[in-house]
Amino acid sequence: MNKQLKRAAAALGTSAIALACQSAFAQSSVTLYGVADVGIRYLTHSNANNEGRIFMTNGAITNSRFGLKGSEDLGNGLKAIFQLESGIDLQSGAQSDSKRLFNRAAYVGLSSNYGTLTLGRQKTPLFDLLGDTYDPLTVGNYFENAWLPVALGAGLYADNAVKYDGTFGGLNVKAMYSFGTDSTSTGANGFSGQIPGHLGAGSMYGFTASYTFGSLSVVAGVQQNSDNSNHKQTIFNANAVYAFSTAKIYIGYLHSKDDTGFVDSTLSQRDLTLGVDILKGSGRKDDGPLAGVTWQATPALLLTGAFYYDHMKNAAIGGGALGSGNRYTGVAVAEYALSRRTEVYGTVDFNKVTGAAAVELPGTSNQTGVSVGIRNIF
């Protein structure tokens, strides 16, 4: 029960309201769905004075959201589809992204036996696969622990994107091209794109190929992001999941070479000045293996353990200087399903940094978080 609840939310496949209409020629449906997830979190060393704090925050398992999705049967196996999805913060009722009404999805497309083609703001292929299959935390955990895919995946969403998703037997292929990944960004490290005379500025492309045979699933992919000055970040990933009985084992690897300053600016929790301390073209490199296990201990109880590591080179450390360092993260999660739609959970996580990675924590070289929360899927 618990496993079905978690994966259903990650795949956004659960709904409570479906409005259907049909005629002699076509059948249409529109579904309202969402996730309400909120937690209370204690975090040590949360500022430069190494003071702890306790606060309410968006959920650890799957951040809260609501959305609409629909399809229309056009005949001969062809369907028109759309999705609009907005993140919300339950602790305040505010939108997760004040610059966008639908920050998590806003696209329309066509689906057939040959695959699905969509246009608009949507997840990158890397995010699709990590969130649905290959990351033990489904990329939904608190930022203190989700830094690896968030930074190395350049935000994980793309504006102005054309995306293809096709499955052929055990093989799944995803490809995306964005004409401008972040239409709201105009800063020094922006990915705005669509600049006259600079057609590649702010663009991105991504490609993944995954294959499932029996209990084993494997994937490899590449993604490249260009900022509005045509500096680039290139990410490679390789991951595998093996399922047996009531458990799954995860291993993976992310590599990034970043000339845009995006990774430095995203991960830094110290006062680094964009364009001065964070140097474009410095060629920051990150090598990040990950591993994890999930165990369905009972029909209602799911236990997860995950470990993430990052070795960085040419990372900004302030004053225009660059350095090398390491970051280690361990996370334990327990989820208990009260019903098919509702669960309570607890998490414990620990981060440790050395060398250049010191700027990625606000205080001392380590940080511990403890959280409890509740989630409802509708």
3-state secondary structure of 123: strand
Residue 2 has pLDDT above 70, yes or no: no
pLDDT bracket for residue 180 (50, 70, 90): confident
Domain count, the chain: 1
| Closest by Cα among 269, 354, 338, 349 to 301 | 338
* Chain centre distance of CA 146: 8
Q: What is the CATH number of the domain that holds 183?
A: 2.40.160.10
Average pLDDT, the chain: 88
Range of the domain at 194: 2-377
Helix, strand, coil percentages, rounded to 5, for the chain: 10, 55, 30
Residue 8 has pLDDT above 60, yes or no: no
Q: What is the mean pLDDT of residues 94-98?
A: 91
pLDDT above 90 covers a percentage of the chain that reads 67
Cβ–Cβ < 8 Å for 2, 9 = no
Q: Is 239 exposed, middle or buried (0-12, 13-18, 19+ CB in 10 A)?
A: buried
pLDDT at position 194 is 65
Residue 131 φ then ψ, to 5°: -70, -35
Query: Which tops the pLDDT comparison, 274 or 363?
Result: 363
* Chain centre distance of CA 279: 25
Cβ–Cβ < 8 Å for 350, 329 = yes
How far separated are the first and last CA of the chain, in Å rounded? Answer: 15
Would you state the torsion angle of the CA atoms of residues 218, 125, 378, 292, taken in this order, to the nearest 10 degrees? 40
pLDDT bracket for residue 182 (50, 70, 90): confident
- pTM for the structure as a whole: 0.87
CB atoms within 10 A of CB 215: 12
pLDDT at position 375 is 96
Query: Which tops the pLDDT comparison, 164 or 13?
Result: 164
Residue 279 φ then ψ, to 5°: -100, 120
pLDDT bracket for residue 22 (50, 70, 90): very low
pLDDT bracket for residue 23 (50, 70, 90): very low
d(CA 266, CA 284): 13
The Cα diameter of the chain in Å comes to 69
Query: Residue with structure tokens 């769905």?
Result: 33
